[in-house]
Structures are given as structure tokens and as C-alpha cells.
Structure 1
Amino acid sequence: MGPFLIRTVCTGFALWIASLIVGGIDFVGYHDNWQKAGIIFVVALIFGVVNAVIKPIVQIVAIPLYILTVGLIHIVINAFMLEITAWITKNTTHWGLQVDDFFWSAIFGALVISAVSWALSILTSND
């Protein structure tokens, strides 16, 4: 339970940083900072589930594109996972993640989330 919770908090922090840096990414449906923190945590959980369930399927289907683009399609796939998370939160609740457009908000947001998650994984590693 501990590593899962740490990973979810790190993902939530990366999503929050992306919402601060990228103009087209924002969290909606909160009235105070505690509600925003709760929304970020729930969105991080949904983002983790999307990455665990949908992303492997998309990656297998996209193997030829990985070869063709020398791996750059991975950025587009990460942006797609961000868009799916925003779509899920928008259509199941009236709060959550809002991504204005795929190009450039989702792609730039995916880059920021990847960089922050990478840095946090280095800081939280046990080695």
C-alpha cells in the first residue's frame, strides 16, 4: 500500500505542476484548496488506472509507430492518456481535470508530467 500511495501522490504532484506550467491544463470543480487537493488525488488515481489498463494496449497496437518515429510516438500516447483522464473526469463528474486541446496543451502537459515524475522517482527511489 505504501509504494502505491507514494506513486499516486507523486503523480498528483506532477499533474499539479503541469497545471501550473501549461496554460491549457487546469483542475475544475473546487471551492477551496482542500477540495482541490482531493480532486488532484482522485485525478491521479484515475490517471494511474488509465495508464495501467489502456496504455499497454495502445502501446502494443502502436509498435510500428514506435519503430517508425524512433519512440517519439510515446509523447503522443502519454498526451492521449492525459486526454482520456480528462474525458473520464468530465463525463462522470463535474469536477476534475480539464485539457483545452490536444495540440499543444496535452502534449506539453505530458512532457511536463513525464519530467516531474522522472525527477520524483529518482528522489523517492530506495537504491
Structure 2
Amino acid sequence: MTNFLVKTLANAAALAVAIWLIGDITLDEHGGTGQRALTLILVALVFGLVNVLVKPVVKLLSLPLFVLTLGLFTLVVNALMLLLTSWISGKLDLNFHVDGFWTAVLGGLIISIVSWAVNLALPDRN
């Protein structure tokens, strides 16, 4: 349970940095700070579920592309997971939006780096 909470907080922090750095990744501007924080946590949960349920299947199906590109295809998969999160968040009325594929590639790169750094700093318990 603690590990799930740590990963969700890391995802929320990484998403917050991506929203802050990239103008085309947006979170609902309406509402107070508490409402935005709750929306960010909910989007982080959706992002975590997408990464746990969908990403392994996509990686398995695209294994030849990973080998062919020496792992650079990971950027494309991360971008697709971010776009899927944006789409699901829209369906859930969470007002998180990623505008375009290249924005998602840059956002996925930032999210990967920030979540890696946050996971290093936060305790890892099961």
C-alpha cells in the first residue's frame, strides 16, 4: 500500500512539473488550489493505471521496434500512454489535456526523468 502511494505521489509530482514546463499540457485552470491538487492526484492515478495495465501489452506487441531502435521507441510508447491518460481524463471530466503527439513526447520525457528522481528520493517499501 505504501509503495502504491509513493508511486502515485511521484506520478503527481512528475505530471505537475510537465504541466508547469509545457504550455500545451494543461490542467483545469478553474477552481482553487485544493481542487487542482485533487484533480492532479486523480490524473496521477489514471496515469498509473494506464502504465500498469496498458503499457506492458504495448511494449510486448512492439518488442521488435524496441530492438530495432535500441530502446528509443520507449519515447513513443510513453507519449502514447500520456495521450491515453489525457483521453481517459477527458472522459472522466478531470480537465487534463495534452495537445498533440510531439507535446506528449516531450511531456513523457519530462515525466520519466522527474518520476525517476522523485522515486529515488522517496522511500521504497512494499
| Class of the TM-score when normalised by the shorter of the 2 chains | over 0.9
Residues paired across the two proteins, number: 125
Native 8 Å contact 1:16 1:40 kept in 2: yes
Which consecutive unaligned segments of at least 5 residues does structure 1 have?
none
CA distance in 1, matches of 2:29, 2:62: 34
> What TM-score, normalized to structure 2?
0.93
How far the C-alpha of 1:2 sits from its partner, in A, is 1.4
Letter in 1 for 2:72: L
Q: Which deviations, in whole Å up to 9, do the C-alpha atoms of 1:88-118 show, x marking residues without a partner? A: 011232x331001112x10000000000011
1:50 aligns with 2:84: no
What are the within-5 Å matches in structure 2 for residues 96-111 of structure 1?
96-103=95-102, 105-111=103-109
Native 8 Å contact 2:26 2:98 kept in 1: yes
How far the C-alpha of 1:29 sits from its partner, in A, is 6.1
Give the structure 1 partner of residue 10 of structure 2: 10
Off by >4 Å, runs of 4+ in structure 1: none
Give the structure 1 partner of residue 36 of structure 2: 36
How far the C-alpha of 1:125 sits from its partner, in A, is 4.2
> What TM-score, normalized to structure 1?
0.93
Q: Secondary structure at the match of 1:9?
A: helix
CA root-mean-square deviation = 1.5
What are the within-5 Å matches in structure 2 for residues 64-75 of structure 1?
64-75=64-75
Q: Which deviations, in whole Å up to 9, do the C-alpha atoms of 1:4-32 show, x marking residues without a partner? A: 11110111010000000112101126411
How far the C-alpha of 1:57 sits from its partner, in A, is 0.4
